[in-house]
Structure 1
Amino acid sequence: MPEPRAFWLDEQFDRERGTDGRGRYEAEVIARIDEFADSWNDFAPVAFAATAWRVASELSPGFVRWHRRIVAATCARSPWDGSMVCAVTMVSRWPAELTWTKQWQRDRGWRDWPQVFGQFTTPTEQDQTRSPHLRALLQVEAPVPLDDLPPAPGGPDDDVASAARRAVVVLVRELNDLLAPMIGQLEAGVPADS
Protein backbone atom coordinates (compact mmCIF):
# COMPACT_ATOMS: atom_id res chain seq x y z
CA MET A 1 0.00 0.00 0.00
CA PRO A 2 1.47 3.40 -0.93
CA GLU A 3 2.36 5.85 1.79
CA PRO A 4 -0.33 8.52 2.28
CA ARG A 5 0.45 12.14 1.52
CA ALA A 6 0.60 14.44 4.51
CA PHE A 7 0.29 17.60 2.38
CA TRP A 8 -0.48 18.48 -1.22
CA LEU A 9 -1.31 21.51 -3.35
CA ASP A 10 -4.82 21.82 -4.71
CA GLU A 11 -3.65 23.01 -8.14
CA GLN A 12 -6.89 22.18 -9.98
CA PHE A 13 -9.15 24.09 -7.58
CA ASP A 14 -6.64 26.95 -7.60
CA ARG A 15 -6.71 27.24 -11.41
CA GLU A 16 -10.48 26.81 -11.68
CA ARG A 17 -11.21 29.53 -9.11
CA GLY A 18 -8.55 31.96 -10.30
CA THR A 19 -9.26 35.24 -12.07
CA ASP A 20 -7.54 37.39 -14.70
CA GLY A 21 -5.33 34.50 -15.82
CA ARG A 22 -3.97 34.02 -12.31
CA GLY A 23 -4.52 31.17 -9.93
CA ARG A 24 -6.35 31.85 -6.70
CA TYR A 25 -3.14 31.59 -4.64
CA GLU A 26 -1.21 33.95 -6.92
CA ALA A 27 -4.02 36.51 -6.68
CA GLU A 28 -4.05 36.16 -2.88
CA VAL A 29 -0.28 36.71 -2.68
CA ILE A 30 -0.61 39.87 -4.77
CA ALA A 31 -3.56 41.09 -2.67
CA ARG A 32 -1.56 40.50 0.53
CA ILE A 33 1.81 41.69 -0.80
CA ASP A 34 2.37 43.95 2.24
CA GLU A 35 2.56 40.86 4.48
CA PHE A 36 5.82 39.92 2.72
CA ALA A 37 7.46 43.35 3.28
CA ASP A 38 9.63 42.24 6.21
CA SER A 39 11.29 39.62 4.03
CA TRP A 40 12.36 41.76 1.04
CA ASN A 41 16.06 41.29 0.29
CA ASP A 42 16.50 38.98 3.27
CA PHE A 43 19.60 36.84 2.75
CA ALA A 44 17.73 33.88 4.26
CA PRO A 45 14.57 32.63 2.55
CA VAL A 46 12.89 31.67 5.83
CA ALA A 47 10.64 34.64 6.59
CA PHE A 48 9.45 34.82 2.99
CA ALA A 49 8.71 31.07 2.87
CA ALA A 50 6.89 31.20 6.22
CA THR A 51 4.63 33.99 4.96
CA ALA A 52 4.02 32.13 1.70
CA TRP A 53 2.99 29.05 3.72
CA ARG A 54 0.67 31.06 5.96
CA VAL A 55 -1.08 32.69 3.01
CA ALA A 56 -1.45 29.31 1.26
CA SER A 57 -2.91 27.62 4.33
CA GLU A 58 -5.25 30.50 5.24
CA LEU A 59 -7.12 30.41 1.95
CA SER A 60 -10.51 28.75 2.31
CA PRO A 61 -10.27 26.07 1.16
CA GLY A 62 -6.52 26.13 1.48
CA PHE A 63 -4.14 26.06 -1.45
CA VAL A 64 -2.17 23.69 0.76
CA ARG A 65 -4.34 20.77 1.77
CA TRP A 66 -3.49 18.19 4.37
CA HIS A 67 -4.30 14.68 5.49
CA ARG A 68 -7.42 14.18 7.60
CA ARG A 69 -5.24 13.47 10.66
CA ILE A 70 -3.58 16.89 10.51
CA VAL A 71 -5.38 19.50 12.58
CA ALA A 72 -2.96 22.42 12.16
CA ALA A 73 0.35 23.09 10.43
CA THR A 74 2.57 26.13 10.65
CA CYS A 75 6.01 26.97 9.32
CA ALA A 76 7.94 29.77 10.98
CA ARG A 77 11.35 31.28 11.53
CA SER A 78 12.99 29.93 14.67
CA PRO A 79 13.65 32.69 17.22
CA TRP A 80 16.69 30.66 18.30
CA ASP A 81 18.76 30.71 15.12
CA GLY A 82 16.56 31.92 12.24
CA SER A 83 16.13 28.48 10.69
CA MET A 84 12.80 27.14 9.43
CA VAL A 85 10.75 25.07 11.87
CA CYS A 86 7.34 23.49 11.55
CA ALA A 87 4.69 22.77 14.15
CA VAL A 88 2.12 20.19 13.11
CA THR A 89 -0.73 18.87 15.27
CA MET A 90 -2.09 15.45 14.33
CA VAL A 91 -4.95 13.24 15.49
CA SER A 92 -3.71 10.05 17.09
CA ARG A 93 -5.07 6.91 18.63
CA TRP A 94 -5.02 6.57 22.39
CA PRO A 95 -1.59 5.76 23.80
CA ALA A 96 -0.86 2.06 24.27
CA GLU A 97 -0.92 2.50 28.05
CA LEU A 98 -4.62 3.36 27.83
CA THR A 99 -5.54 0.59 25.41
CA TRP A 100 -3.75 -2.21 27.27
CA THR A 101 -6.58 -2.46 29.77
CA LYS A 102 -9.97 -0.82 30.13
CA GLN A 103 -9.86 -0.65 33.94
CA TRP A 104 -9.30 3.11 33.91
CA GLN A 105 -12.54 3.62 31.96
CA ARG A 106 -14.71 2.36 34.86
CA ASP A 107 -17.63 1.76 32.47
CA ARG A 108 -18.07 5.46 31.77
CA GLY A 109 -18.34 5.00 28.01
CA TRP A 110 -15.22 6.90 27.00
CA ARG A 111 -15.22 7.88 23.33
CA ASP A 112 -12.37 8.58 20.94
CA TRP A 113 -12.40 11.11 18.07
CA PRO A 114 -15.81 11.24 16.39
CA GLN A 115 -15.65 10.75 12.63
CA VAL A 116 -18.03 12.01 9.97
CA PHE A 117 -17.49 10.51 6.52
CA GLY A 118 -13.95 9.57 7.58
CA GLN A 119 -13.05 13.04 8.84
CA PHE A 120 -12.06 13.53 12.47
CA THR A 121 -14.36 16.02 14.15
CA THR A 122 -14.80 17.70 17.51
CA PRO A 123 -17.53 16.19 19.68
CA THR A 124 -20.69 18.25 19.55
CA GLU A 125 -21.94 19.99 22.68
CA GLN A 126 -24.65 17.33 22.85
CA ASP A 127 -22.05 14.52 22.55
CA GLN A 128 -20.09 16.07 25.42
CA THR A 129 -23.13 15.89 27.70
CA ARG A 130 -23.69 12.19 26.98
CA SER A 131 -20.25 10.65 27.41
CA PRO A 132 -16.66 11.61 28.16
CA HIS A 133 -14.28 12.00 25.23
CA LEU A 134 -10.54 11.47 25.16
CA ARG A 135 -9.03 12.82 21.94
CA ALA A 136 -5.31 12.21 21.58
CA LEU A 137 -3.12 14.62 19.62
CA LEU A 138 0.50 14.45 18.58
CA GLN A 139 2.48 17.68 18.42
CA VAL A 140 5.35 17.52 15.94
CA GLU A 141 7.94 20.29 16.07
CA ALA A 142 10.85 19.87 13.70
CA PRO A 143 13.40 21.72 11.58
CA VAL A 144 12.69 22.00 7.86
CA PRO A 145 15.63 21.97 5.38
CA LEU A 146 16.19 25.26 3.56
CA ASP A 147 18.28 23.95 0.66
CA ASP A 148 15.70 24.27 -2.12
CA LEU A 149 13.76 27.31 -0.94
CA PRO A 150 13.83 30.19 -3.43
CA PRO A 151 15.60 33.38 -2.40
CA ALA A 152 13.44 36.12 -0.92
CA PRO A 153 12.38 38.63 -3.59
CA GLY A 154 13.91 42.09 -3.52
CA GLY A 155 10.57 43.83 -3.34
CA PRO A 156 6.95 43.92 -4.47
CA ASP A 157 7.94 44.58 -8.10
CA ASP A 158 9.67 41.18 -8.37
CA ASP A 159 7.73 38.03 -9.28
CA VAL A 160 6.62 37.48 -5.67
CA ALA A 161 3.75 35.14 -6.56
CA SER A 162 5.99 32.68 -8.42
CA ALA A 163 8.58 32.70 -5.63
CA ALA A 164 5.84 32.16 -3.04
CA ARG A 165 4.43 29.22 -5.02
CA ARG A 166 7.91 27.69 -5.30
CA ALA A 167 8.47 28.10 -1.54
CA VAL A 168 5.18 26.36 -0.77
CA VAL A 169 6.00 23.52 -3.19
CA VAL A 170 9.32 22.96 -1.40
CA LEU A 171 7.72 23.08 2.05
CA VAL A 172 5.04 20.58 1.01
CA ARG A 173 7.73 18.21 -0.27
CA GLU A 174 9.84 18.51 2.88
CA LEU A 175 6.88 18.12 5.24
CA ASN A 176 5.68 15.08 3.29
CA ASP A 177 9.12 13.53 3.62
CA LEU A 178 9.04 14.16 7.36
CA LEU A 179 5.44 13.26 8.22
CA ALA A 180 4.02 10.86 5.61
CA PRO A 181 5.70 7.81 7.20
CA MET A 182 4.23 8.74 10.59
CA ILE A 183 0.75 9.20 9.12
CA GLY A 184 1.08 5.89 7.30
CA GLN A 185 1.88 4.17 10.58
CA LEU A 186 -1.06 5.85 12.34
CA GLU A 187 -3.39 4.86 9.52
CA ALA A 188 -2.17 1.26 9.62
CA GLY A 189 -3.12 1.12 13.27
CA VAL A 190 -0.58 -1.54 14.16
CA PRO A 191 2.66 -1.18 16.06
CA ALA A 192 5.75 -0.82 13.90
CA ASP A 193 8.23 -3.65 13.68
CA SER A 194 10.93 -3.32 16.29
Structure 2
Amino acid sequence: MPEPRAFWLDEQFDREHGTDGRGRYEAEVLRRIDEFDVTWGDIAPVEFAATAWRIAGELSPGFVRSHRRIVSATCTRSPWDGSMVCAVTVVSGWPAELTWTKQWQRDRGWRDWPQLFGQFTTPTEQDQTRSPHLRAMLQVQAPLPLDDLPPAPDGPDDSVAVTARRAVAVLARELNDLLAPMIGQLEAGVPADS
Protein backbone atom coordinates (compact mmCIF):
# COMPACT_ATOMS: atom_id res chain seq x y z
CA MET A 1 0.00 0.00 0.00
CA PRO A 2 1.46 3.42 -0.92
CA GLU A 3 2.33 5.84 1.85
CA PRO A 4 -0.37 8.51 2.34
CA ARG A 5 0.43 12.16 1.74
CA ALA A 6 0.54 14.35 4.81
CA PHE A 7 0.45 17.66 2.86
CA TRP A 8 -0.12 18.76 -0.73
CA LEU A 9 -0.98 21.89 -2.68
CA ASP A 10 -4.45 22.09 -4.16
CA GLU A 11 -3.33 23.69 -7.40
CA GLN A 12 -6.48 22.78 -9.35
CA PHE A 13 -8.93 24.34 -6.89
CA ASP A 14 -6.65 27.36 -6.59
CA ARG A 15 -6.64 27.96 -10.36
CA GLU A 16 -10.34 27.24 -10.84
CA HIS A 17 -11.40 29.69 -8.14
CA GLY A 18 -8.93 32.47 -8.86
CA THR A 19 -9.75 35.82 -10.44
CA ASP A 20 -8.12 38.14 -12.97
CA GLY A 21 -5.92 35.35 -14.33
CA ARG A 22 -4.44 34.68 -10.89
CA GLY A 23 -4.91 31.76 -8.56
CA ARG A 24 -6.56 32.37 -5.18
CA TYR A 25 -3.27 32.05 -3.34
CA GLU A 26 -1.41 34.47 -5.61
CA ALA A 27 -4.21 37.02 -5.27
CA GLU A 28 -4.21 36.63 -1.48
CA VAL A 29 -0.43 37.11 -1.27
CA LEU A 30 -0.68 40.29 -3.32
CA ARG A 31 -3.64 41.52 -1.24
CA ARG A 32 -1.66 40.93 1.98
CA ILE A 33 1.73 42.04 0.63
CA ASP A 34 2.31 44.28 3.67
CA GLU A 35 2.59 41.16 5.86
CA PHE A 36 5.89 40.42 4.10
CA ASP A 37 7.40 43.86 4.91
CA VAL A 38 9.85 42.55 7.52
CA THR A 39 11.12 39.87 5.12
CA TRP A 40 12.33 41.99 2.18
CA GLY A 41 15.96 41.33 1.40
CA ASP A 42 16.43 39.04 4.41
CA ILE A 43 19.56 36.95 3.95
CA ALA A 44 17.69 33.91 5.32
CA PRO A 45 14.50 32.82 3.54
CA VAL A 46 12.86 31.63 6.77
CA GLU A 47 10.58 34.54 7.73
CA PHE A 48 9.38 34.96 4.14
CA ALA A 49 8.58 31.23 3.88
CA ALA A 50 6.83 31.22 7.27
CA THR A 51 4.62 34.13 6.22
CA ALA A 52 3.85 32.45 2.90
CA TRP A 53 2.89 29.23 4.75
CA ARG A 54 0.64 31.06 7.20
CA ILE A 55 -1.25 32.84 4.44
CA ALA A 56 -1.65 29.56 2.51
CA GLY A 57 -3.25 27.96 5.56
CA GLU A 58 -5.57 30.87 6.26
CA LEU A 59 -7.35 30.55 2.92
CA SER A 60 -10.62 28.65 3.17
CA PRO A 61 -10.30 26.01 1.94
CA GLY A 62 -6.56 26.15 2.38
CA PHE A 63 -4.12 26.27 -0.52
CA VAL A 64 -2.17 23.64 1.41
CA ARG A 65 -4.30 20.59 2.11
CA SER A 66 -3.48 18.01 4.72
CA HIS A 67 -4.28 14.45 5.68
CA ARG A 68 -7.36 13.98 7.83
CA ARG A 69 -5.13 13.24 10.84
CA ILE A 70 -3.44 16.65 10.72
CA VAL A 71 -5.16 19.05 13.12
CA SER A 72 -2.78 21.99 12.70
CA ALA A 73 0.60 22.81 11.19
CA THR A 74 2.70 25.90 11.66
CA CYS A 75 6.10 26.78 10.25
CA THR A 76 7.99 29.53 12.04
CA ARG A 77 11.40 31.03 12.51
CA SER A 78 13.12 29.63 15.59
CA PRO A 79 13.85 32.36 18.14
CA TRP A 80 16.88 30.29 19.17
CA ASP A 81 18.89 30.36 15.96
CA GLY A 82 16.67 31.66 13.14
CA SER A 83 16.19 28.24 11.52
CA MET A 84 12.84 26.93 10.25
CA VAL A 85 10.86 24.84 12.71
CA CYS A 86 7.44 23.27 12.48
CA ALA A 87 4.80 22.40 15.05
CA VAL A 88 2.23 19.87 13.85
CA THR A 89 -0.64 18.31 15.79
CA VAL A 90 -1.60 14.82 14.61
CA VAL A 91 -4.64 12.72 15.59
CA SER A 92 -3.53 9.46 17.16
CA GLY A 93 -5.07 6.37 18.61
CA TRP A 94 -4.97 5.76 22.31
CA PRO A 95 -1.56 4.79 23.68
CA ALA A 96 -0.90 1.07 24.08
CA GLU A 97 -0.99 1.41 27.86
CA LEU A 98 -4.70 2.30 27.60
CA THR A 99 -5.66 -0.28 24.99
CA TRP A 100 -4.32 -3.54 26.39
CA THR A 101 -7.01 -3.58 29.09
CA LYS A 102 -10.29 -1.77 29.61
CA GLN A 103 -9.97 -1.92 33.38
CA TRP A 104 -9.24 1.82 33.66
CA GLN A 105 -12.47 2.68 31.84
CA ARG A 106 -14.72 1.40 34.67
CA ASP A 107 -17.64 1.03 32.25
CA ARG A 108 -17.95 4.78 31.74
CA GLY A 109 -18.30 4.49 27.97
CA TRP A 110 -15.12 6.32 26.99
CA ARG A 111 -15.13 7.41 23.36
CA ASP A 112 -12.31 8.14 20.93
CA TRP A 113 -12.28 10.83 18.23
CA PRO A 114 -15.72 11.24 16.63
CA GLN A 115 -15.64 10.95 12.85
CA LEU A 116 -17.92 12.53 10.29
CA PHE A 117 -17.58 11.27 6.72
CA GLY A 118 -14.12 9.93 7.61
CA GLN A 119 -12.91 13.23 9.10
CA PHE A 120 -11.87 13.48 12.73
CA THR A 121 -14.05 16.01 14.55
CA THR A 122 -14.44 17.55 17.96
CA PRO A 123 -17.19 16.06 20.12
CA THR A 124 -20.29 18.23 20.07
CA GLU A 125 -21.51 19.86 23.27
CA GLN A 126 -24.29 17.27 23.32
CA ASP A 127 -21.78 14.41 22.91
CA GLN A 128 -19.78 15.76 25.83
CA THR A 129 -22.82 15.55 28.10
CA ARG A 130 -23.42 11.89 27.24
CA SER A 131 -20.01 10.26 27.62
CA PRO A 132 -16.37 11.06 28.32
CA HIS A 133 -14.02 11.46 25.36
CA LEU A 134 -10.31 10.78 25.22
CA ARG A 135 -8.86 12.27 22.02
CA ALA A 136 -5.18 11.42 21.71
CA MET A 137 -2.92 13.77 19.78
CA LEU A 138 0.75 13.79 18.96
CA GLN A 139 2.63 17.07 19.09
CA VAL A 140 5.40 17.04 16.50
CA GLN A 141 8.07 19.73 16.75
CA ALA A 142 10.92 19.48 14.30
CA PRO A 143 13.44 21.47 12.29
CA LEU A 144 12.92 21.75 8.53
CA PRO A 145 15.78 22.04 6.02
CA LEU A 146 16.30 25.41 4.33
CA ASP A 147 18.26 24.13 1.34
CA ASP A 148 15.52 24.44 -1.29
CA LEU A 149 13.69 27.51 0.01
CA PRO A 150 13.81 30.38 -2.47
CA PRO A 151 15.56 33.58 -1.37
CA ALA A 152 13.35 36.29 0.08
CA PRO A 153 12.52 38.96 -2.52
CA ASP A 154 14.19 42.36 -2.15
CA GLY A 155 10.86 44.15 -2.11
CA PRO A 156 7.22 44.06 -3.14
CA ASP A 157 7.38 43.28 -6.84
CA ASP A 158 5.77 40.89 -9.34
CA SER A 159 7.92 37.96 -8.16
CA VAL A 160 6.54 37.85 -4.60
CA ALA A 161 3.51 35.66 -5.32
CA VAL A 162 5.54 33.18 -7.40
CA THR A 163 8.28 33.04 -4.76
CA ALA A 164 5.69 32.55 -1.99
CA ARG A 165 4.09 29.68 -3.93
CA ARG A 166 7.50 28.04 -4.37
CA ALA A 167 8.31 28.44 -0.66
CA VAL A 168 4.98 26.85 0.31
CA ALA A 169 5.60 23.96 -2.11
CA VAL A 170 9.03 23.32 -0.55
CA LEU A 171 7.62 23.39 3.00
CA ALA A 172 4.75 21.05 2.04
CA ARG A 173 7.27 18.63 0.51
CA GLU A 174 9.54 18.72 3.57
CA LEU A 175 6.61 18.26 5.96
CA ASN A 176 5.31 15.42 3.82
CA ASP A 177 8.71 13.70 3.90
CA LEU A 178 8.83 14.12 7.67
CA LEU A 179 5.28 13.06 8.54
CA ALA A 180 3.95 10.74 5.81
CA PRO A 181 5.63 7.64 7.32
CA MET A 182 4.07 8.43 10.71
CA ILE A 183 0.64 9.01 9.13
CA GLY A 184 0.96 5.72 7.26
CA GLN A 185 1.75 3.86 10.47
CA LEU A 186 -1.17 5.48 12.30
CA GLU A 187 -3.52 4.64 9.41
CA ALA A 188 -2.35 1.02 9.42
CA GLY A 189 -3.41 0.83 13.05
CA VAL A 190 -0.95 -1.92 13.94
CA PRO A 191 2.33 -1.72 15.82
CA ALA A 192 5.42 -1.48 13.64
CA ASP A 193 7.74 -4.46 13.43
CA SER A 194 10.65 -4.24 15.83
Equivalent residue, structure 1, for 2:91: 91
Equivalent residue, structure 1, for 2:44: 44
1:10-44 superposed Cα distances (whole Å, 9 cap, x missing partner): 10100001011100000000000000000000000
Equivalent residue, structure 2, for 1:58: 58
Equivalent residue, structure 2, for 1:179: 179
Q: Give 1:67 shift.
A: 0.3
Equivalenced residues, count = 194
Identity of aligned residues (%): 87
Partners of 2:177 and 2:94 lie apart in 1 by 25
- Cα RMSD for the two superposed structures: 0.5
Equivalent residue, structure 1, for 2:168: 168
Runs of 4+ in 1 over 6 A off after TM superposition: none
Partners of 2:165 and 2:158 lie apart in 1 by 13
**Structure 2 counterpart of 1:182, one-letter code:** M
Gaps of 5+ in 1: none
1:94-173 correspondence runs (5 A): 94-173=94-173
| Corresponding position: 1:27 with 2:27 | yes
Partners of 1:77 and 1:49 lie apart in 2 by 9
1:74-85 correspondence runs (5 A): 74-85=74-85
For the residue of structure 2 that corresponds to 1:54, the secondary structure is: helix
For the residue of structure 1 that corresponds to 2:28, the secondary structure is: helix
Q: Give 1:90 shift.
A: 0.6
Equivalent residue, structure 1, for 2:70: 70
Partners of 2:157 and 2:142 lie apart in 1 by 33
Q: Give 1:158 shift.
A: 4.6
Partners of 1:127 and 1:20 lie apart in 2 by 45
Partners of 2:157 and 2:11 lie apart in 1 by 24
For the residue of structure 1 that corresponds to 2:165, the secondary structure is: helix
1:64-103 superposed Cα distances (whole Å, 9 cap, x missing partner): 0000000000000000000000000010000000001100
Q: Give 1:59 shift.
A: 0.2
Equivalent residue, structure 1, for 2:190: 190
1:151-173 superposed Cα distances (whole Å, 9 cap, x missing partner): 00000025100000000010011
**Structure 1 counterpart of 2:184, one-letter code:** G
For the residue of structure 1 that corresponds to 2:184, the secondary structure is: helix
Partners of 2:157 and 2:54 lie apart in 1 by 21
Gaps of 5+ in 2: none
